[in-house]
Structure 1
Amino acid sequence: MCQDMMRAEIWLQETLDSQQGIEELATRMGYSSSQIRRRFRKRFGVSPGTYRDQLRLEKAARLLIHTPQNISHIAAVCGYRNHSAFSRAFQRYYGDTPRHYRQRLRLTLQRQCSDSTTFSYRIRELPRRQAVLTRLYHPQPLENLHGWQRHTWGAEDLPSALNQASPLAVFHDQPIAGALPRLDLGVAVDDTTSHLALPPTFRLQNLPARRLACITLDSTQQVDSAVLDLACRSLAGSGAPLNGEAPQLLQEHGVLELRIPLL
């Protein structure tokens, strides 16, 4: 059941901008709507509909803080059909209007900027890629990516063809944390992986082509500081604007590289 509800949670995350309902999710998973609601609530403590609303509003909060997009556009990409419905839902969840929240959180972030470490970065345009990932909830801090398998369940059953693949972590709670901390952990792969049989806890994930700010790090402990630095520069107009999507950390050829998606 935990694997099924993990797949349900990922589906909800990936369909934030759609109007597909829980009935569609139930059909995909072979359950009734009432079974999905009951099992999801048992696993995550809230109904699927409430959880997706949380994800939509948390995504909106990131976009409000870190991008110049107008509020109507943010409402639309987060699955709201009109500005008024979005504003009401946002104020219920955060206790502030989207406009005031944007102003307040940007001021809070700017106050942190003077104490932030400065990182060198380069901007790269990376093509579409793929990854084999599993999801962790309330993850423990990662010491490094070399021993990523010990943090997961089922990694020992991955095909041997992936033994040399580069470890990858996707931080869904950056630049600001959500109600349910989540981390995707696994390896970056090429297109030849689609024919491999994966353990049920893992999935093949498409990573779309992106413009990224790439930062070489000494350790995983620098992730938070590096994201903060890029966010501060973006707000100050001295760096490329972030797009609010999850940063990725890749260990390749002995180099630890943080990749932050940009507009």
Structure 2
Amino acid sequence: MTAHASSLSTSLNAMRAAEIWLHERADASPSISELANYLGYSEAQIRRNFNRVFGISPGRYRDSLRLERAALLLCRTPMQVLDVAISCGYRSHAIFTRAFHGYFGVSPSDYRRRFHDRLRDSVPRRAPEALTVETQRETRCFLTRHYGDVPVSAHPSLWRYYAQRWQQYLAGCQTARTWVYHDDPNITPAGRVRIDFGFRVQGDCVTPPAMAFRQVHMPSRRQAKMRVTGRENIIGAFAYLLYEWLPTHNEWLSGEPVMVMWEEGASPHTPLERFELGVPLLAIH
């Protein structure tokens, strides 16, 4: 690898770390100075490199994360607009509404209504093979981040691209092939949709298998667990949960990331792919 290529790779990894740092702290509206201190870069370097990698300044990216998170909460939870605003770091209803309208072109209430009107009858629904509500214990994962929306049919191939070559480092661990959805492609622009690919791990694994992977602890949470056969049925199962099962069971989504675990069939000639979806629900108090 040439010095230039090595420098470029280092910069890409640093900006990936910067994006993840901003994402994990978006509700607190962190400053770019804090980000620069975290990475050991100057603010000018952060702004220049981040814009080169993501096509947007880190400050604008941070603000878009907050507003897209707010849109996700509006569309997937029963939260009042003011509660959404506060949870996303806005100090008042008026400030939030002005920022939201400037980004999406409509008020938060109108956005919530139009979102469901647009999708309720346009997304095919398919009941999963099994659906239960249970509390998932804290889960430890090794994950690497992908940017950009792709068809669900391509996600197993993407998982192989990112993760399969590192399986040798996990020989002593009990693992499950996993990906985590952070965004709704109906809300977040396709080029910035974030999907984490990797492994759910158990046992004595101590560190991630490569620099590109990071260790993530998914907290204990109530979830709707769905079992689905065939990757083509994942979206339909989620639509069934959202528009048929939830309204009749007095349950609501929490808006937290959705985890998918993949179990591939043993026969290379007739692969039978089974998926387990963990969709977080609001906690019952």
- Quote how far apart the aligned CAs of 1:152 are: 1.4
Work out the CA distance in 2 between the residues paired with 1:37 and 1:220. 39
Q: CA deviation at 1:220?
A: 2.2
TM-score normalised to structure 2 length: 0.82
Decide whether the 8 Å contact of 2:225 with 2:278 is kept in 1: yes
| Residue 237 to residue 68, structure 1, CA distance change in 2 (3 Å) | farther
Q: Structure 1: where are the runs of 5+ without partners?
A: none
Aligned to 2:24: 14
The number of aligned residues is 261
Deviation digits for residues 184-208 of structure 1, max 9, x if unmatched?
Answer: 0000013733x32531111001101
Spell out, residue by residue over 1:159-206, the C-alpha distance to the aligned partner (whole angstroms, 9 max, x if none).
23367511001122337441212210000013733x325311110011
After superposition, the Cα gap between the structure-2 partners of 1:98 and 1:176, relative to the gap in structure 1 and judged at 3 Å, is same
Q: Distance in 2 between matches of 1:163 and 1:140?
A: 30
**Alpha-carbon distance change, 107 to 42 in structure 1, aligned in 2, over 3 angstroms:** same
- 134-143 vs 28-37, greater mean Cα deviation: 134-143
Q: Cα distance, 1:223 vs. partner? A: 1.9
Q: Does 1:138 align with 2:148?
A: yes
Question: 1:1-263 alignment to 2 at 5 Å?
Answer: 1-112=11-122, 115-119=124-128, 120-138=130-148, 140-141=150-151, 143=153, 150-152=160-162, 155-156=165-166, 159-161=169-171, 164-174=174-184, 176-179=186-189, 180-190=192-202, 192-193=204-205, 195-196=206-207, 198-233=209-244, 236-238=247-249, 240-251=251-262, 255-263=274-282
Task: Kindly state the Cα deviation for residue 143 of structure 1 after the two structures are TM-superposed.
Answer: 4.6
Whole-angstrom distance in 1 between the partners of 2:57 and 2:259? 29
How far did residue 121 of structure 1 move?
1.0
Distance in 1 (alpha carbons) for counterparts of 2:65 and 2:43: 20
Q: CA RMSD in A?
A: 2.5
Structure 2 regions of 5+ residues with no counterpart? 1-10, 266-273
Q: Larger Cα Rg: Structure 1 or Structure 2?
A: 2
Deviations 1:32-90 (A, max 9, x none): 11111111000000011111111111111111111111111111111212211111111
Cα distance in 1 for residues equivalent to 2:47 and 2:179:
29
Structure 2 Cα separation of the partners of residues 92 and 213 of structure 1:
34
* 2:121 partner SS: helix
CA distance in 2, matches of 1:6, 1:183: 13
Distance 1:8 1:224, change over 3 A: same
- Alpha-carbon spacing, 1:157–1:225, altered in 2? closer, same or farther (3 Å): closer
| Greater Cα offset, 98-107 or 229-238 | 229-238
Report the residue type matching 2:195 in the other structure: L
Q: Give the Cα separation in 2 of the matches to 1:140 and 1:158.
A: 27
Task: Write the letter of the residue equivalent to 1:245.
Answer: E
Instruction: Name whichever of 138-147 and 174-183 sits farther off.
Output: 138-147
Q: Are residues 121 and 239 of structure 1, via their aligned partners in 2, closer, same or farther at CA, if it must alter by over 3 Å?
A: farther
Task: Tell me if the contact between 1:149 and 1:156 (Cα under 8 Å) persists in the aligned partners.
Answer: no
Structure 1 residue 147, shift from structure 2 partner: 6.0
1:98-121 deviation digits (Å, cap 9, x = unpaired): 0111122222233337x5223341
Find the aligned partners of 2:150 and 2:114 in 1 and give their Cα distance: 30
Secondary structure of the corresponding residue to residue 152 of structure 1: helix
